[in-house]
Structure 1
Amino acid sequence: MTITIKDIAKQVGVSYSTVSKALNNSPLVKQETKDKIIKLAKEMGYEPNYAAQSLVSKQSRVIGLIWPTLERVAPSTLITKINEEISKHNYSMILSINSIEESIEMFKRFQVDGVIIFNRDNFEMPKTFPMPVVTYGVNKNKSIPVIDVNYREAMQTAVEYLYHLGHENIAFLGDFSFIDERQVEKYYGFQQAMENFSLKLNSHNLINTGGLDWYDGYMATNRLLSSPFQPTAIIGTSYDISAGIVRSLRQANYILPKDMSVISYDNIPQMENLEVPLTSVGVPVEEIAQNMVQTLLNYIKNPDTVPLSQTLTPKINERTSCARAGKFQLGQ
């Protein structure tokens, strides 16, 4: 038998509207009464009728999220944080790993209130959407609100950090395929920073991983270690790449940070759990999630209050993978 708010109201001895307000966490209901109603609703097996609620409120209280891949650690962590943030606002999330066009069509059928899009390979997006949309990445010619995490500044911060530790020979390991504009921003951010500090920049310290996975970082580091260029520090452009860097260095009997300093992009908690806890740079994943969700919710309520671009500030998270360059290393 389906349990309704009328059944709960009868058991508690309050009106239907009081039960409805309590289940929607309304401040108009005393906390004691609210707790009693919520507890009884769970015991009776009450399931809200979302279809009926959305007809009345004209809101589904569901957010769609499009991300074409969940293979890497950092994106999966961000999606988890976004889901947690959405739940805090009493919304639910539907995740799609299909193309943007296919996902939008599906979300239209589910009548979601808004969508967060992660455009992995910089595909051209539709010029208009049937619902509020927010995206993430680089603020370049976007017609929808974008949360820009400032990849260039992150790389400049990493170089500056290593420079002040005395490092002059710094290698940069990243994907140079130039399909993904996020990787392009990191590439140019590193180059600009090296020039700013008058540090050597050539083909020897720009190492193309050819991908963003663990194995790509591992193989690229193997190539670096067998080359004539011997850096004192390495910057990895993602968690997965940096995990491969650490494995390669450890396999070659390097002691971190005594023999080599390593700093990584992606400011996620998992950096602490690598073989060597990695110092990392980037906008903290919790901050990205909060900004994306809050921006979308504001856009749903009032589009005119949301700017087309918001740029977040990267931060250094110091751990144990970087140290001051020794005298024996400088000048090599």
Structure 2
Amino acid sequence: MTITIKDLARVAGVSYSTVSKALNDSPLVKPETKNKILKVAEEMGYEPNFAAQRLVSKESKVIGLIWPTLERLAPSSLVSNINEEITKSSYSMILSVNSIQSSIEMFKRFQVDGVILFSEGESESTETLSLPSVTYGVGKNKSYPVIDVNYQAAMEDAVNYLHQLGHRKIAFVGNLTTTDERQIEKSIGFQKAMTKLEIFEDGCLIDTEGFGWYDGYMATIRLINSPYQPTAIISASYDISAGLVRALRQENFNVPKDVSVLSYDNIPQMANMEIPLTSVGVPVEEIAQAMVQTLTKFIKYPQSVPLVQSLKPVITERSSCAPAEKNLISE
């Protein structure tokens, strides 16, 4: 038997409207009353009827999230953080790993209030304009709000950080052949910083031709056997870094004694790698919070949300970087 709000009101001994307000986390309900109602709802196995709720409030309190791939750890970590932020905002989340077009069509049927969109290189769909939408990445060529995480600035910070440690031969290991604007911005930032410092050399850019562990591993093996011998390496992502570190250790390089490693993706999991990696980027918790807060505001007050919001990347120091004089790879 389906449990309704009226059933909850009868058991809790309060009015129908009080139950409705409590379930929507309204500040108009006293905390003790709210806790009592929530406990009754849990004990009775109450499940909200989103369709009915939308008829009354014009909101389903559901957000759709489109992510075409969950294979890499950093995106998965961001999805988890987004889900936590959505829950805090009294919304629920539906996750789709299908194409943008099919996901949007499904979300329309579920009557979601808004969409968090991750294109992963897929071309933007004009269908997203029919629903309030927010994305993250690069703040250009978008027709809906984007949280710009400043990939170029992150790479410039990484190069400058290593340069201050005395490194002059720095390599970048990342996917250079992709059309994904996120990866393109990273390589541009690296090249700009290296050129400004007058230390850019042929051979310092290593193409992984992919995003996975094995891609990072093979690219690092090629780097080790190339004429360009760096004292420090910047990796484009967590997964690439995992393969990079494995290749270095297999070839008997000590990190950071022989070579320093700094990785993009500022996620807590960097501390749990074979070698805890110093990382750069906007902290994943900050990205998730900005995206959810922007979308929930955009749903209610679309004119109040700017098209681009820029976040500042930071460097989280761990144990994978050391001053250049301690590095032996080029000796």
TM interval, short-chain normalised: over 0.9
What residue in structure 2 maps to residue 228 of structure 1?
A: 227
The structure-2 alpha-carbon separation of the partners of 1:329 and 1:46, relative to structure 1 and needing over 3 Å to count, comes to closer
Paired letter, 1:246: V
Where does 1:1-332 land on structure 2 (aligned, <5 Å)?
A: 1-126=1-126, 129-202=129-202, 204-326=203-325, 329=328
Cα displacement (A) at 1:195: 1.2
Question: Following the alignment from structure 1 to structure 2, what is the Cα–Cα distance between the partners of residues 328 and 248?
Answer: 17
Residues in 2 aligned to 1:92 and 1:116: alpha-carbon distance in whole angstroms: 12
Report the Cα offset of residue 12 of structure 1. 3.1
Deviations 1:133-155 (A, max 9, x none): 11111122211111111000000
Structure 1 residues 327 and 70: CA distance shift in structure 2, 3 A? closer
Q: Distance in 1 between matches of 2:178 and 2:11?
A: 63
Counterpart secondary structure, 1:98: coil
Distance, in Å, in 1 between the alignment partners of 2:59 and 2:314 is 37
Displacement of 1:331: 8.0
1:223 to 1:66, Cα distance in 2 relative to 1, 3 A = same
Shift in Å at residue 122 of structure 1? 4.2
Aligned equivalents of 1:292, 1:227: Cα separation in 2? 41
Asked if structure 1 preserves the Cα contact closer than 8 Å seen for 2:229 and 2:330, the reply is no
Between the aligned partners of 2:142 and 2:307, the Cα distance in structure 1 is 8
Q: Distance in 2 between matches of 1:300 and 1:327?
A: 53
Superposition deviation, residue 4 in structure 1 = 2.8
Residue 47 of structure 1: how far off its partner (Å): 2.5
Shift in alpha-carbon separation, 1:158–1:305, aligned structure 2, 3 A: same
TM-superposed CA distance for 1:50, in Å, is 2.2
Do the aligned partners of 2:147 and 2:308 also contact (CA within 8 Å) in 1? Answer: yes
The alpha carbon displacement at 1:130 in A equals: 1.3
8 Å CA contact 2:101–2:127 kept in 1: the answer is no
Distance in 2 separating the partners of 1:143 and 1:219? 38
Gap change, CA 1:18 and 1:179, over 3 Å in 2: same
Q: Aligned residues, how many?
A: 331
Q: Deviations over 1:199-256 (max 9, x none)?
A: 1321x11111101111000000001111122110000000011111100000011111
Give, as a single letter, the amino acid of the residue that structure 2 aligns with 1:257. P
Letter in 1 for 2:300: K
The 2-side partners of 1:76 and 1:327 are apart by 35
Q: TM-score, normalised by structure 2?
A: 0.96
Q: Which runs of 5+ in 2 are unaligned?
A: none
Does the 8 Å CA contact 2:118/2:135 hold for their aligned counterparts?
yes
Partner SS state of residue 63, structure 2: strand
Deviation of 1:28 (Å)? 1.8
Q: Is the 8 A contact 1:209 1:216 kept in 2?
A: yes
Which consecutive residues of structure 1, in runs of 5 or more, have no partner in the other structure? none
- AA aligned to 2:278 is T
Given the two structures, how large is their TM-score scaled by the length of structure 1? 0.95
- Compared CA separation, residues 270 and 328, structure 1 to 2 (3 A): closer
Instruction: Supply the distance in 1 between the matched residues of 2:107 and 2:96 (Cα, whole angstroms).
Output: 9
User: Partners in 2 of 1:64 and 1:223 — Cα distance?
Assistant: 41
CA RMSD of aligned residues (A): 1.6
Partners of 1:122 and 1:179 within 8 A in 2: no
8 Å CA contact retained: 1:145, 1:309: yes
Give the SS at the match of 2:116. strand
Equivalent residues of 1:66, 1:97 under 8 A apart: yes
Distance 1:6 1:143 in 2: 43
1:24-77 Cα deviation digits (max 9, x unpaired): 222222222222222122222222222211111111111111111111110111
Q: Which amino acid aligns with 1:187?
A: S
Range moving further from structure 2, 10-19 or 55-64: 10-19
Deviation of the 1:329 alpha carbon: 5.0
Q: Which moved more, 1:44-53 or 1:111-120?
A: 44-53
